[in-house]
Structure 1
């Protein structure tokens, strides 16, 4: 039953995402004749789409050289490079986006963004980071501040 499915996905937090995806799909069909927009401005005109999602679509779908900045990526930048935002919502800080743009490689940026997202979730985790197996531990400010070798 559709109501039963709605209740199940609501429990795990997917109902809102499903509703948002439906609205986005309707906008893409009605406003963009069924084609996913290829500009940041058009992507951000879609319901619930901000800088992170628009850049993710541009990077991963259209192979555009743009940084991906979310909470996890910001954690890596903060730990490795000691770059911090003073904003309560750091992912909205233009300075953080500028930094991400600065360190984004000129080539292989799609792979870099995928690797950065994976690295943030698998190694440089919010809780219990795996510093001992980290491939960039030699340059990591966070590791040095913790007194690890």
Structure 2
């Protein structure tokens, strides 16, 4: 199937609208299964539809700096005692430059250690559990 100029322009417009709608839906969700530390939107550096990741969304693990946001390494005490980043990690910038939209920071194991449910501030789903339930933290 060959698209005419009008059809191609209309398709590009619909892809952009679909992307904007997806971002709005992600930001409006109440139930994200505890996946986000913080929700925000970082738009790609270019809105060109020809970019390889155009139309995709991603979340950044809480170990990567994002300008203006606190990198907490999965630890609320660390986040509480440190200031916001003054620059964005090169890896995050590369994904943005490729056309994807960042929708926030994602939960990670504290200080990148694999100790799920051993700390009182964690409340995330176990890998072997139904995602509609969350593990109870140790009191």
TM-score range, shorter chain: under 0.3
* TM-score (normalizing by structure 1): 0.23
**TM-score normalised according to structure 2 size:** 0.24
The structure, 1 or 2, with the larger RCO (C-alpha pairs under 8 Å, 6+ apart) is: 2
Greater helix share, 1 or 2?
1
